Chains A and B, each alone.
Chain A
Amino acid sequence: MLWSATDSFGRVFDTLRELEGIRRSLRRFDVPSTVEFPAMNVWVSDDNAVVTTEIPGIDPSALEISVIKDSLTLRGSRQTEELKEGESYHRRERWHGQFTKTLELPFDVESRKGEARFSKGVLYISLPRAEAEKPRKISVKSE
């Protein structure tokens, strides 16, 4: 092999990885991990929600973002390099395929006022909170 990743644990690490694999395969018997591709972070303020997700290498025009009330759905796909004759993978760790992910936001949002930006492989979706859902200040009247 031309290549080897240099990790500090060498073979010990490989063994650990195998053990990790066994542990993972046993995990199907308990509650599965809730994280689906792509991993998302949600930031909220009183009148806005920002959803960020790391999807490097994706063509942003092929992304589909849909919002209904408090649920956000993201659809897209990432293809790997097409291999030609005589080419081969030494390592293949990057995620590929199609994905659909639906996320429950903490409040209803105005889908029409949403904005999305894709920068350096990170998608930012900004969604203003629905007017009816905004926290209201109650003024206290003195008698």
Chain B
Amino acid sequence: MSETEREIQKKEAETLETGERTRACRIYSPYVDIIERQQDIVVIADMPGVDENSVDITLEKNVLTIYGRVDADTPINHRLSLSEYGMGDYQRAFTLSDEVDRDKIQATVKNGVLKLVMPKAELAETRKIPIKAEGVGGLMNLNLSHS
């Protein structure tokens, strides 16, 4: 039971404020599932009220930040008689490892769910440093073939 309670209530984001915010609203930390697959890593975040035009994904150094802007869609001329959840923007940051191919990250939003697909970099290829032979033997062979 404690498990379901934890997941129902929206959690406010623990963000380090780096400046004054211009939007007067709360920021929530979206709940996410992170799945590791053979070829990629998938991040699925619940961001109700967000569509493809109101989500920002930034990658700075190795920190991936997702930010979703929610424009409150409240009924006009109504007053709130029961409030079980709050409304506000979403923000959450993740630290990426080198295993992610940063240029190929794909993001989609459907029904208020953000899905990020991050292909893994091909480690064998990117980390292999070709070694050129610069030995005396090579030069000797070269000389021999000319003579």
Contact = CB atoms under 8 A, between A and B. Distances in A.
A6 B63 contact: yes
Contact of A41 (B9, B31, B83): B83
B80 A2 contact: no
B135 interface: no
A54 to B, nearest CB: 4
Given A6-B94, A121-B112, A35 B8 contact: yes
Contacts of A143: none
Interface of A: 2-9, 13, 21, 24-25, 27-28, 32-33, 35-45, 48, 50, 54-58, 60, 80-81, 83-84, 86-95, 103, 106, 118-122, 124, 126
A33 B5 contact: yes
Contacts of A28: 1-2
User: What band does the interface of chain B fall in when counting residues whose beta carbon is under 8 Å from A?
Assistant: 35 or more
Given A5-B94, A122-B48, A94 B15 contact: no
A57 B30 CA distance: 13
Interface of B: 1-2, 4-10, 14-16, 31-38, 41-42, 44, 46-51, 63, 73-75, 77-85, 92-95, 97, 99-100, 110-113
Contact of B7 (A8, A37, A121, A122): A37
Contacts of A4: 94-95
Given A40-B84, A122-B48, A56 B37 contact: no
A48 B94 contact: no
Contacts of B1: 28, 32
Nearest to B38: A86
